[in-house]
Chain A
Amino acid sequence: MRAVLRSIGSLVALTVLAGAALAWFAAHTEEAARRNRMYEEWKTLLDMAGEVDRQRLIGFADDADDAPPDDWLLCEMDLAILRGTGKGYGGAFRLAVAIRTDDERGSIKAVRILAHAETPGFADMLAAGSPWLDSFAEGEVHAVTGATITSLAVREAVARTMARFEPEGTCRP
């Protein structure tokens, strides 16, 4: 009985200590990590926009509260960048779709995955610059063998995000 209690005591004490250490450290690093993630998201969105003024990114570095807008209209560039969500094989993911506003139907300029939990290796197609992700701009997107659930989920999420886009009453007078 005493041995059992000692075993339980060892595990409980270490678990409490580990939990306390992790909670304390996570609280101290949370803000820096959040800023890093947001900074990275800004970089992705600005890369999608292309020629946009880089001052926005430089300005952001001094103001962490300036989060990217969900629907970012860049009327002077005839562009709208919308962010959406979906659920893949490994869990929820977030993406951004750059849409040309000068096109009546609002054609896709680029798609980027901002965060995902898909299996590494199988998720290479979700990296910026992958031919599969670039195929959204070409208009013909196929499911990927070996990552069927992920590819179909991204395709559906892009379609849902696109459905939110309303060309009338946004940039046009």
Chain B
Amino acid sequence: MSRFADAALRRNPAWAQLLGLCPLLAVSNTIANAAGLAVASAVVLIGSATLISAVRRFIAADVRLPCFVLVIATFTTLVNLAMEAYAFDLYQRIALFAQLVVTNCMILARVEQVAAKERIGRTLLDALGTAAGFAVAILALGAARQLLAAGFPLAAQPPGAFLTAALLLALVNAKPWRRQPGSTAFGRESKRGDHDSA
């Protein structure tokens, strides 16, 4: 359980590692869109990580990255096909970013760092935690933007995404939460090596 909480909170992909910010900013204009992308990303992350963990012994180290991208692209396409068939309204609103889930470095990072090395049980917990952390981040941003947009229409526009995300990031890293240097509202921030650009 600590692995789940660790992935969701201390290593929150958005607020602690600043990963996957492109879809986070682009599709958080409403809670419904944010929830749709959170579910799509979760299915791709959990499916890809579990499958790669299951077959990791059969994947040659030299070609592991093309293999990982192939699996992630397959799950992304499956999710998009399902959305086009069973959630067409949502598909029309977020199709572009649902297709770009394949390039979300949050997913490739968890696959490379965890799924390629760990057993299925641990990988599944990590993937569930990361997906939950991303969902919390994007839903919080979506809710904040939708509420703010009632009084400040800019919040629903692209500049509003950056401003609201910056405010939430500042809140998460606010001084009252910091018990010791380097910690955030969710716990101590990740080591230098864990940080990456989105």
Contacts from A to B (Cβ < 8 Å): 3, 6-7, 9-11, 13-15, 18, 21-22, 25-26, 29-30, 32-33, 36-37, 39-40, 120
Interface size on B, residues (CB 8 A): 22
Name the residue on A nearest B91 (C-beta). A36
Contact B60 A6 (CB under 8 A): yes
- B66 is an interface residue with CB less than 8 A from chain A: yes
Given A7-B62, A10-B60, A11-B63, CB of A36 within 8 Å of CB of B85: yes
- CB-CB under 8 A from A7, the residues of chain B are 60, 62-63
Q: CA–CA, A15 to B70, complex, Å?
A: 7
Contact A36 B71 (CB under 8 A): no
- B67 is an interface residue with CB less than 8 A from chain A: yes
Given A15-B70, A21-B78, CB of A10 within 8 Å of CB of B58: yes
Contacts from B to A (Cβ < 8 Å): 55, 58-60, 62-63, 66-67, 70-71, 73-74, 77-78, 81-82, 84-86, 88, 92, 96
- CB-CB under 8 A from B67, the residues of chain A are 10-11, 14
Given A10-B58, A11-B67, A14-B67, CB of A40 within 8 Å of CB of B96: no
10 A-B pairs besides A18-B73, A29-B82, A33-B88 with CB distance below 8 A are A10-B60, A10-B63, A11-B70, A14-B59, A21-B74, A22-B74, A22-B78, A29-B86, A33-B85, A40-B92
A119 to chain B, nearest CB (A): 10
- CB-CB under 8 A from B77, the residues of chain A are 22
- CB-CB under 8 A from A26, the residues of chain B are 81
- CB-CB under 8 A from A11, the residues of chain B are 63, 66-67, 70
Contact B85 A3 (CB under 8 A): no
Name the residue on A nearest B68 (C-beta). A14
Contact A29 B81 (CB under 8 A): yes
- CB-CB under 8 A from A36, the residues of chain B are 84-85, 88
- CB-CB under 8 A from B58, the residues of chain A are 10, 13
Given A14-B71, A40-B88, CB of A3 within 8 Å of CB of B62: yes
- CB-CB under 8 A from B84, the residues of chain A are 29, 33, 36
- CB-CB under 8 A from B55, the residues of chain A are 14
Contact B59 A10 (CB under 8 A): yes
Contact B88 A25 (CB under 8 A): no
Q: CA–CA, A26 to B77, complex, Å?
A: 9
Contact B81 A33 (CB under 8 A): yes
Among candidates A9, A21, A22, A32, residue contacting B85 with C-beta atoms closer than 8 Å: A32
